[in-house]
């Protein structure tokens, strides 16, 4: 009987001890929210990475709130204004200045300075620059949005054309485009075009021009310059003069993905985010190459970073999370789907990223070296609306280069002032 009483007493003590441990753990656990904008496929990877983080940090529970891209930003601003900001957000470089100006983001300079685990030298400099505003760092970079030229190798082979090589030029691309533009049934309309289009902003940088006087502190629009007008005419001439790209009206109704994968065009400009989609192509072989040069070789460089809103109730736990997501371990997992170009040099130059397809993954890394930052201004979206609206008239042949560039300068300068 005494033995039984001792057993019962021991069981009671164990139960009380476990209860105390659970209570203590519950009291010490921090719950934070990660505000994401991932696709369905990306979300699977995000959840795995977040779960790995929680296993390594059992005192932190992370809830992922995933919102479609088109709703993401307006909802985030509403939450911040209502004092219900998440703890970690997936910030976009072109939107970062606006959130900083609204006093919605926390500078992480002090956190970086006192954290021995952070090695800023492993990040591409351009990735760090796009995560800054007015010389302060507001996030740890995750990826770089780099654009290259995708080309249909089978189409090149059939036309007897050598594949594009580093150092090729605008003239080379036009020459190739003419040979790749084919009217198979002789009805006067090409069944295959050379390429889809050419990004006007990249063409401006390649012509030696720019859209504003200073990308880090824009005060004046610079569209009414010879270099910009040359670039715009080059882009429009591809369809109207050289006739190697579909007319702008057709491009309004078909995506570059649809045109390229269907064989309607032999070349297209696109970002690395399209690689997972293009990897499903089975009807022809394809690869990528750096963009051709005009006056010089240049491209775009923008991307995303992990930021902490000023409204975060648990900034210390939030810092642990963004530090993990931006670490080699985190980025190694997050780039495994092929969607993005990693911001860490050590991961970008490893088999994690460089494994094909495409065979020439290195082209994306080469374009980082000549990546041009977008204008860092809280009014970037307003500028983008002006550019898009005015240039649509130019692409359709309803405005001259002189007229449209002056109009853009006038409207942009009003916004910048």
Could you tell me the CATH number of the domain that includes residue 273?
Answer: 3.40.190.10
Please check whether residue 194 is in contact with residue 267, taking contact to mean a CB–CB distance below 8 angstroms.
yes
Cis peptide bond N-terminal to 400, omega within 30: no
Residue 316 counted as domain residue? yes
Q: What is the bridge-based pairing of β-strands 341-342 and 136-137? A: unpaired
Residue 257 counted as domain residue? yes
**334: pLDDT strictly greater than 90:** no
Residue 108 counted as domain residue? yes
Please check whether residues 262 and 202 belong to one and the same domain: yes
Q: Give the pLDDT mean for 168-175.
A: 98
Over the stretch 53-85, which tens digit does the pLDDT of each residue have? 999 999 999 999 999 998 999 999 899 888 899
Residue 399 counted as domain residue? yes
Please check whether residues 111 and 247 belong to one and the same domain: no
In this predicted structure, what is the pLDDT of residue 27?
60
**413: pLDDT strictly greater than 80:** yes
Residue 5 counted as domain residue? no
Please check whether residues 229 and 180 belong to one and the same domain: yes
pTM of the full predicted structure?
0.90
Q: Domains in the chain: how many in total?
A: 2
Residue 8 counted as domain residue? no
Residue 7 counted as domain residue? no
Residue 17 counted as domain residue? no
In this predicted structure, what is the pLDDT of residue 373?
95
Residue ranges in 256-379 assigned as alpha helix (H)? 256-261, 275-278, 315-325, 328-334, 345-348, 351-354, 362-368
Please check whether residue 126 is in contact with residue 144, taking contact to mean a CB–CB distance below 8 angstroms.
yes
Please check whether residues 167 and 53 belong to one and the same domain: no
Cα–Cα dist 248/190, whole Å:
14
**Average pLDDT across the chain, whole number:** 92
Over the stretch 355-403, which tens digit does the pLDDT of each residue have? 999 999 999 999 999 999 999 999 999 999 999 999 999 999 899 999 9
DSSP string, 288-306: EEPPPBSSS--EEEEEEEE
Domain region containing 88: 25-144+303-372
Please check whether residues 130 and 229 belong to one and the same domain: no
Burial class for 95, CB neighbours closer than 10 Å (0-12, 13-18, 19+): middle
């Amino acid at each position: 009987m005494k033995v039984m009483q001792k057993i019962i007493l021991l069981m009671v003590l164990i139960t009380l001890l476990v209860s105390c441990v659970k209570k203590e753990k519950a009291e010490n656990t921090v719950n934070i929210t990660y505000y994401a904008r991932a696709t369905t496929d990306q979300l699977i990877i995000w959840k795995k990475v977040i779960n790995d983080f929680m296993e390594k940090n059992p005192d932190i529970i992370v809830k992922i709130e995933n919102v479609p891209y088109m709703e993401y930003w307006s909802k985030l601003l509403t939450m911040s204004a209502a004092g219900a900001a998440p703890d970690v957000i997936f910030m976009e470089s072109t939107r970062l200045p606006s959130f900083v100006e609204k006093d919605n983001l926390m500078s992480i300079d002090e956190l970086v300075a006192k954290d021995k685990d952070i090695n800023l030298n492993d990040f591409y400099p351009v990735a760090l620059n796009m995560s800054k505003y007015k010389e302060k760092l507001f996030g740890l970079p995750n990826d770089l949005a780099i654009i290259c030229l995708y080309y249909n190798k089978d189409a090149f082979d059939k036309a007897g054309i050598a594949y594009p090589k580093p150092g090729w030029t605008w003239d080379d691309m036009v020459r190739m485009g003419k040979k790749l533009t084919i009217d198979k049934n002789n009805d006067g309309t090409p069944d295959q075009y050379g390429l889809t289009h050419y990004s006007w902003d990249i063409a401006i940088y390649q012509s030696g021009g720019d859209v504003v006087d200073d990308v880090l502190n824009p005060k004046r629009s610079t569209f009414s310059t010879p270099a910009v007008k040359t670039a715009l005419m080059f882009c429009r001439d591809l369809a109207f003069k050289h006739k190697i790209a579909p007319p702008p009206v057709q491009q309004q109704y078909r995506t570059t993905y649809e045109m390229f994968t269907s064989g309607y065009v032999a070349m297209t400009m696109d970002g690395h985010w399209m690689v997972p989609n293009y990897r499903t192509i089975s009807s022809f072989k394809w690869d990528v190459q750096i963009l051709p040069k005009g006056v010089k070789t240049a491209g775009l460089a923008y991307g995303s970073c992990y930021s902490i809103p000023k409204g975060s109730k648990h900034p210390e736990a939030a810092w642990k999370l963004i530090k993990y997501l931006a670490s080699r371990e985190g980025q190694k997992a997050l780039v495994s789907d092929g969607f993005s170009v990693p911001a860490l040099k050590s991961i970008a130059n490893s088999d994690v990223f460089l494994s094909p397809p495409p065979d020439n993954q290195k082209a994306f890394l080469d374009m980082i070296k000549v990546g041009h930052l977008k204008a860092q201004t809280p009014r970037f979206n307003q500028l983008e609306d002006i550019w898009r609206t005015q240039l649509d008239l130019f692409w359709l042949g309803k405005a001259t280069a002189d007229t449209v560039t002056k109009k853009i300068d006038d409207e942009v300068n009003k916004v910048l002032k």
